[in-house]
């Protein structure tokens, strides 16, 4: 599970670094629409990161802990 959190953090850091580095931005040549899409993707992945962190924090994840998180993820995906 840490792998997911690490990858999401890396994506966020890389987006910010590349946005702030004009030479890299020209080399990559992403359009403003593509940057917006990446930002939106990160926003959609954040609830999964939060759920992953909560499940990873305990030694035993029970169904009663999982269901509220699953319901929240479903709700977030619908809207």
Mean pLDDT of 25-49: 81
Higher pLDDT, 23 or 38: 38
> Does 1 have pLDDT greater than 60?
no
* Predicted pLDDT at 28: 66
Q: pTM, whole model, 2 decimals?
A: 0.52
**CB count, 10 Å around CB of 51?**
18
> Quick check: 22 pLDDT over 60?
yes
Q: Report the C-alpha gap between 18 and 39 in whole angstroms.
A: 13
Domain boundaries, the chain: 2-78
**Does position 33 have pLDDT exceeding 60, yes or no?**
yes
Per residue in 40-68, pLDDT tens? 888 888 888 888 887 777 677 677 777 88
Is it the case that residue 78 has pLDDT exceeding 80? Answer: no
């Amino acid at each position: 599970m840490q792998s997911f959190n690490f990858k999401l953090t890396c994506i966020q850091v890389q987006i910010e670094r590349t946005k702030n580095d004009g030479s890299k931005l020209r080399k990559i040549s992403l359009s403003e629409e593509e940057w917006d899409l990446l930002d939106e993707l990160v926003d959609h992945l954040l609830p999964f990161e939060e759920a992953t962190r909560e499940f990873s924090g305990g030694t035993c994840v029970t169904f009663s802990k999982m269901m509220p998180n699953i319901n929240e993820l479903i709700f977030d995906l619908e809207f």
